[in-house]
């Protein structure tokens, strides 16, 4: 309804920004998603009026009525992308219009208003410009950007979606998502729980998908694994994705990744790897792979590597697999050459050390 609406952002800079020393202390060891910058974006939506009150403002808590819809019915969605310090010192994001499009696809599924794509990208630009000193200069670190939208009408009825919403962006300096850095992760096959079913919200980046996933992730950790692997809802055999990443299976120079059937998130990293593969001498198939094929492929040696990919996780090798009644190692359990080649190429484009043949890098300042 509002994709053509032009927003004008009011800018209110913080008068209590962290000192240089405080910021440097955070940047020395940022972890993932633990510390936030000095500013945030807020834009409100009212049915009938559209988007309004767009502003960059000091980072701080929200005050919301306890009856606010999002607290009760989880009408919420989010995005995740990063600002990268380029090798030449400038700052850029990666494919922000792809995130804007996915944000709006999620919004449609969640009966929430779409945000004009230009406003989405402008909100990121404003926040990164205001907090540019928070973009790490340490190799491999970045500023993680978290746009999100919540339903803000204080009302408990469920006969109609919320009439009011708030869109926000916060930013958080980030080191590696996995605390061990780039090293193979172990995964747990979840046959007890289901993340997404046909007709559900699997393709949308809505908080409810993640809320329902924590129990399986906790089970994975209890089993000594780093991450959960989700399987299809019907047979619990076909691989879909991981907790916050898509998966690729490497058969020599052939990559197989689960097709986008509506039950998994259409990852932008996944899409980028598919687009890049040919240039790296690799073929990609979007298809189906069962846990039996995964295990048999590793045991025969035909399936040489498996890797996970996503904004936060970048490209991460999968070293070992465990399920209720099976366990096996992928390759020699280490980081394979195809995984590392793809990772190097992607990271090189994102940080500006490799040519950006696809025009993916969006310079901010």
Scanning 29-37, 69-77, 113-121, 239-247 for contacts with ligand PLP by CB under 6 A, the matching segment is 239-247
Alpha carbon distance 334, 285 (integer Å): 24
Q: Output the smallest distance, CB 175 to ligand COI, in A.
A: 13
| Span near ligand COI by CB under 6 A; candidates 9-17, 128-136, 226-234, 307-315 | 307-315
Q: What is d(CA 69, CA 166) in angstroms, rounded to the nearest whole number?
A: 12
**310 makes contact with ligand COI (CB under 6 A):** yes
DSSP E strands, 177-311: 185-190, 227-231, 239-242, 246-251, 254-258, 283-287, 305-310
Using alpha carbons, list the distances in angstroms from residue 41 to 81, 119, 346, 365: 15, 11, 28, 18
Asked if 297 touches ligand PLP (CB under 6 A), the answer is: no
d(CA 52, CA 42): 10
Question: Which x/- pattern, by CB under 6 A, does the window 225-264 give for ligand COI?
Answer: -------------------x--------------------
| 269 belongs to the binding site for ligand PLP (CB under 6 A) | yes
The minimum distance between CB 168 and ligand COI, in angstroms, equals 15
Distance of closest approach, residue 131 Cβ to ligand COI, in angstroms: 18
Comparison of 190 and 304: residue with beta carbon closer to ligand COI: 190
In the numeric block, the tokens 């692997």 are attached to 229
Q: Which single residue brings its beta carbon nearest to ligand COI?
A: 80
Q: Which is nearer to ligand PLP, 7 or 110 (CB)?
A: 110
Q: Are 245 and 267 in contact (CB under 8 A)?
A: yes
Sign of the torsion angle spanned by Cα atoms 300, 305, 308, 309: negative
Binding site for ligand COI (CB under 6 A): 80, 244, 310-312
């Amino acid at each position: 309804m509002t994709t053509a609406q032009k927003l004008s952002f009011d800018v209110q800079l913080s008068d209590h920004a962290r000192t240089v020393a405080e910021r440097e202390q955070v940047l020395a060891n940022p972890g993932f998603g633990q510390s936030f910058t000095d500013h945030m974006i807020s834009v409100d939506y009212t049915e009938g009026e559209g988007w309004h009150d767009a502003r960059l403002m000091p980072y701080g808590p929200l005050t919301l009525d306890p009856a606010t819809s999002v607290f009760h019915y989880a009408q919420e969605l989010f995005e995740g992308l990063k600002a990268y310090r380029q090798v030449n010192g400038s700052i850029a994001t990666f494919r922000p219009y792809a995130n804007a499009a996915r944000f709006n696809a999620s919004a449609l599924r969640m009966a929430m208003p779409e945000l004009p794509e230009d406003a989405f990208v402008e909100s990121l630009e404003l926040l990164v410009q205001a907090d540019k000193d928070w973009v790490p200069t340490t190799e491999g670190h970045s500023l993680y950007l978290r746009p999100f939208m919540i339903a803000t009408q204080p009302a408990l009825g469920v006969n109609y979606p919320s009439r009011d919403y708030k869109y926000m962006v916060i930013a958080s300096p980030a080191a590696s998502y996995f605390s061990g850095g780039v090293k193979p992760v172990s995964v747990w096959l979840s046959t007890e729980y289901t993340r997404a079913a046909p007709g559900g919200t699997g393709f949308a980046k809505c908080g409810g998908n993640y809320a329902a996933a924590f129990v399986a992730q906790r089970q994975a950790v209890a089993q000594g694994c780093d991450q959960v692997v989700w399987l299809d809802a019907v047979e619990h055999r076909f691989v879909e994705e991981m907790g916050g990443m898509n998966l690729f299976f490497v058969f020599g120079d052939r990559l197989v990744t689960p097709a986008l059937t509506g039950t998994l998130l259409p990852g932008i990293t996944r899409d980028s790897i598919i687009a890049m593969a040919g240039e790296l001498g690799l073929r990609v198939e979007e298809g189906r792979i069962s846990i039996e094929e995964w295990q048999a492929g590793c045991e025969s040696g035909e399936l040489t590597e498996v890797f996970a990919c996503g904004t936060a996780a970048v490209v991460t090798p999968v070293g070992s697999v465990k399920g209720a009644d099976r366990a096996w190692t992928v390759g020699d359990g280490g980081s394979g050459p195809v995984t590392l080649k793809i990772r190097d190429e992607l990271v090189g484009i994102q940080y500006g050390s490799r040519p950006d043949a696809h025009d993916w890098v969006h310079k901010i300042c």
